[in-house]
Amino acid sequence: MGLAAKAINMDDTILHHFDDFQGFIGDKPYRGTAEMFFCPGCGYGHWFATGPGGWTWDGDREKPTARPSILQTITKEQGGMRCHLIMTDGQLQFLADSEHSLAGTTVPMEAF
């Protein structure tokens, strides 16, 4: 995943906005608007596209809801794990196929 864009509002908020994010949705390249959040399960920032072809997001920056689920595969260089979650009302529900200690739990989103 390339982070070739500069984030706007990189202060202690739950979501960080990118106007020109470059990455992938599944195996398809994506360039456009996106939001990034901290994942306490992996310890990394995860993102979801909010432009055409992206996730449905309610626009709430404090207690966000996004659909469908968010699946992130961390590279082997970063520890090699799968993280799969559902974001609802500012809560992260980690699905059972996540490969970290928070799999099967729900936790509140954190500012970063």
Report pTM: 0.84
User: Which residue in this structure is represented by tokens 């739990």?
Assistant: 105
DSSP 29-46: EEEEEEEEEEETTTTEEE
Q: What is the tens place of the pLDDT at every residue in 62-84?
A: 999 999 999 988 766 766 789 99
- For 4, the 3-state DSSP assignment is coil
Task: Give me the pLDDT at residue 55, please.
Answer: 95
Interior angle at CA 90, CA 84 and CA 94, nearest 5: 20
Q: What is the tens place of the pLDDT at every residue in 10-57?
A: 567 899 999 999 988 777 899 999 999 999 998 888 999 999 889 999
DSSP state of 61: S
- Res 7 pLDDT > 60: no
DSSP state of 76: G
- Which residue type, as a one-letter code, is found at position 94? F
Q: With 0-12 CB in 10 A as exposed, 13-18 as middle and 19+ as buried, what is 22?
A: middle
Task: Give me the pLDDT at residue 37, please.
Answer: 96
